[in-house]
């Protein structure tokens, strides 16, 4: 039997049809097109995946399906392993091409991509994989990175195709529900809404008014929820591209009236920088996939991983450490799936330095919890905030200082740690220092209704610092740092590093 020729557009973490090279290239060919999303059951068993991610993807797939229908062919959804699904399709059709985006993901997705590449080669299928954002595959030298990335970002958007040749008579396949048991690691609370229309709405409101106080509020939990862009899950799952966002910001900059420039310019510039950091961090994982599992500087291997205190870990994860600001941040994050950058850094710093927990263990809880889990940023940041890169200044956050700086009246704390709702303002950052009479009067007994601090910060940090110093002072440490820097550092970071080598920053 003569099989119909088809081409496949394989959607992964790029759930849009605008600025999407694979679907655009397919639209130029006059053969039937099968746009497919595969729910990979094994992926959803991995410790970094979670039902919260699926909830966001579910919304996004619904919209992607609508958008694809408009241009001629609905999105086909299948559940199982990519290889098996492609094999089954190739029994029915003559697959001529598979178009997709490069994905900088976990080792799991990397191995799957390699397997598919091999299978396509063996089956004479032309697999065409296009770059995503500013990430450069097989980058020769790190010093070329920013030039290539910036020139890519300046390119025009890839046009949205107006039609693709449909594939008749194919079952579209149900998108598994948000409650499906395929998805593990449940959450309690809310999830940011997915879908392209939502992404466009939030960038519009950000550029219209929300972003006016972006930098001013960026480290204030409780307020930054409204004033940060909140684009991260959209960029992670690809409902918009970074390039699209940069173009919209540029338009906004060009349209500013003289009196608006003072308010907007620094905020917009700050978002532009962060979008560049986004690519910078993802590039690290692209260049060195092992950073998902291994410390960038190998001298840090063995530092914490054999010392897991499960009680500390559980207390941190549940927001029961006895440090109100840490607990409020963690409970808020667990509930909403998002918290601002500084608080993410502080939560990791507390886990890594105060509780001496390994970043690989704490990283999985955070990966499941963040709706925006992006492996490249995630593992690079976890390592930075745990002090194991060998190229960054060690940053140790003081949870009481952070609390007084960013939540002076304890409003955020009282919202997320209701046990402390009646604690007078003067004690809110350190309720364990409250006298017993006050504790009784407000019915909040420390040790009973709310825990005592599980560690003494000053003591814990003293110990952590001396353990870190032992490593930093080992023979060959600086040589190791130089190697990390030349492979994974950016030019700008190199200059910064010269000034601050081995410095310890207490924040
Ligand atoms: C330990 C730790 C883990 C993190 N894990 C993730 C993750 O899995 N996914 C993720 O998207 N971000 C991660 N971040 C970075 C940052 O906290 C989030 O990108 C940001 O809070 C998302 O909110 P927003 O979209 O409102 O960001 P905005 O402040 O509005 O910034 C705009 C965009 O720039 C990018 N961006 C912002 N800050 C950073 C940064 N420091 N590094 C790289 N890119 C940045 C994001 O794509 C973000 O959407 C992590 C930070 C830390 C400290």
Q: Residue 300 gets which letter from DSSP?
A: G
| 149 within some domain | no
Q: Which of 341, 374, 380 to mutate to test the pocket of ligand 1 (most atoms within 8 A of CB)?
A: 341
Residue of 377, 192, 181, 190 whose CA lies nearest to 277: 377
Domain boundary among 75, 105, 130: 130
Residue 263 burial (CB count, 10 A):
13
Distance 497 CA to ligand 1 centre (A): 22
Residue 368 belongs to a domain: yes
426 and 312, same domain (yes or no): yes
Residue after which a domain boundary falls, among 87, 107, 130:
130
Whether residue 237 lies inside any domain: the answer is yes
Same domain flag for 308 and 410: yes
What integer pLDDT is reported at residue 499 of this predicted model?
A: 42
Distance 65 CA to ligand 1 centre (A): 28
Q: Quick check: is 183 in a domain?
A: no
Q: Which atom of ligand 1 is nearest to the CA of 281?
A: 43
For residue 279, report the distance from its CA to the centre of ligand 1, in Å.
11
Alpha-carbon distance 98 to 369, whole Å? 33
What is the C-alpha to C-alpha distance for residues 120 and 44, in angstroms, rounded to an integer? 24
Is 169 inside any structural domain?
no
pLDDT confidence of residue 141: 87
Q: What is the pLDDT of residue 489?
A: 86
**CATH number of domain containing 418:** 1.10.579.10
Identify the pLDDT of residue 506.
Answer: 61
DSSP code for 123: T
Nearest to 460 by CA among 381, 376, 360, 351: 351
Q: Quick one: CA dihedral 431, 436, 441, 447, positive or negative?
A: positive
240 and 216 part of one domain: yes
Query: Rounded to an integer, what distance in angstroms lies between the CA atom of residue 175 and that of residue 62?
Result: 8
Task: Say if 334 falls within a structural domain.
Answer: yes
Centre of ligand 1 from the C-alpha of residue 293, in Å: 20
Q: In this structure, is residue 495 part of a structural domain?
A: yes
Q: Are residues 244 and 321 in the same domain?
A: no
- Asked if residue 296 and residue 270 are part of one domain, the reply reads no
Are 266 and 305 within one domain? no
Q: What is the pLDDT of residue 178?
A: 97
* 332 contact partners, CB below 8 Å, separation of at least 6: 221, 339, 412, 415, 416
Residues 298, 272: one domain?
no
Q: Give how many domains the chain has, as a whole number.
A: 3
Q: Give 232 Cα–ligand 1 centroid separation in angstroms.
A: 6
Which residues of the chain have a pLDDT value below 50?
493-503
Structural domain including 476 reads 291-506
Query: So what's the pLDDT on residue 492?
Result: 54
Indicate whether 384 and 451 sit together in one domain.
yes
Ligand 1, pocket-test mutation among 231, 232, 238, 351, most atoms within 8 A of CB: 232
Nearest Cα residue to atom 39 of ligand 1: 274
Write down which residue in 81, 98, 130 finishes a domain: 130
Residue 135 lies in a domain: no
Q: What is the CATH number of the domain that holds 45?
A: 3.40.50.620
Residue nearest to atom 29 of ligand 1 (CA): 228
Residue whose Cα lies nearest atom 50 of ligand 1: it is 378
CB within 6 Å of ligand 1 — which residues? 228-232, 235-236, 271, 274-275, 277-278, 281, 340-341, 344-345, 348, 370, 372-374, 377-378, 381-382, 385
Could you tell me the maximum CA-CA distance found in the chain, to the nearest angstrom?
A: 87
Same domain, 303 and 358: yes
What pLDDT, on a 0 to 100 scale, did the predictor assign at position 140? 87
C-beta separation of 50 from 43 below 8 A: no
Residues 296, 272 share a domain:
no
Tell me: do 88 and 108 sit in the same domain.
yes
pLDDT score for 502 = 42
DSSP 8-state assignment for residue 29: S
Look up the CATH number of the domain holding residue 241. Answer: 1.25.40.80
Indicate if 42 and 118 belong to the same structural domain: yes
Residue nearest to ligand 1 atom 15, measured at CA: 341
């Amino acid at each position: 039997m003569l099989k119909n020729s088809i081409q496949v557009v394989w959607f992964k973490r790029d759930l849009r049809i605008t600025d999407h090279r694979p679907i655009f290239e397919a639209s130029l060919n006059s053969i039937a097109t099968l746009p497919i999303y595969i729910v990979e059951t094994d992926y959803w068993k991995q410790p970094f995946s979670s039902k919260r991610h699926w909830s966001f993807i579910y919304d996004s797939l619904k919209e992607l399906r609508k958008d694809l229908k408009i241009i001629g062919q609905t999105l086909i959804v299948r559940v199982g392993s990519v290889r098996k699904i492609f094999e089954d399709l190739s029994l029915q059709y003559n697959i001529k091409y598979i178009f997709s985006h490069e994905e900088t993901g976990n080792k799991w997705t990397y191995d799957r991509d390699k397997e598919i590449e091999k299978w396509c080669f063996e089956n004479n299928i032309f697999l065409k994989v296009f770059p995503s954002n500013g990430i450069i595959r097989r980058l020769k030298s790190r010093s070329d990175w920013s030039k290539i990335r910036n020139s890519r970002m300046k390119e025009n958007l890839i046009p949205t195709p107006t039609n693709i040749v449909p594939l008749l008579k194919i079952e579209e396949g149900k998108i598994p529900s948000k409650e499906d048991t395929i998805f593990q690691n449940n959450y309690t609370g809310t999830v940011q809404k997915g879908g392209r229309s939502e992404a466009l709405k939030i960038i519009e409101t950000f550029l219209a008014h929300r972003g006016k106080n972006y930098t001013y509020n960026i480290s204030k939990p409780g307020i930054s929820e409204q004033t940060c862009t909140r684009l991260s899950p959209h960029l992670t799952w690809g409902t918009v591209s970074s390039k699209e966002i940069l173009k919209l910001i540029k338009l906004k900059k060009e349209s500013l009236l003289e009196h608006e420039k003072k308010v907007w310019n620094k905020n917009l510039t700050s978002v532009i920088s962060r979008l560049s950091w986004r690519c910078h961090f993802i590039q690290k994982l692209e260049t060195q996939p092992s950073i998902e599992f291994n410390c960038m500087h190998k001298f840090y291997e063995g530092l914490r991983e054999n010392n897991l205190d499960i009680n500390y870990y559980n207390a941190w994860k549940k927001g029961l450490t006895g440090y109100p600001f840490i607990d409020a941040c963690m409970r808020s994050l667990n509930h909403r799936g998002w918290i601002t950058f500084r608080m993410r850094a502080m939560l990791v710093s507390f886990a890594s330095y105060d509780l001496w927990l390994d970043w690989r263990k704490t990283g999985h809880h955070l990966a499941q919890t963040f709706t925006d889990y992006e492996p490249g940023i995630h593992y690079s940041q976890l390592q930075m905030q745990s002090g194991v890169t060998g190229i960054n200044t060690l940053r140790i956050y003081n949870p009481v200082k952070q609390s007084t700086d960013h939540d002076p009246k304890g409003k955020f704390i009282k919202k997320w740690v209701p046990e402390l709702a009646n604690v007078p303002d003067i004690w809110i950052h350190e309720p364990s220092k409250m006298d017993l009479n006050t504790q009784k009067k407000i019915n909040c007994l420390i040790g009973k209704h709310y825990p005592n601090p599980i560690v003494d910060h000053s003591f814990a940090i003293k110990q952590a610092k001396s353990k870190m110093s032992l490593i930093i002072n080992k023979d060959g440490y600086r040589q190791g740092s130089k190697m990390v820097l030349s492979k994974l550092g950016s030019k700008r970071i190199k200059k910064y590093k010269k000034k601050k080598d081995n410095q310890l920053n207490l924040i």
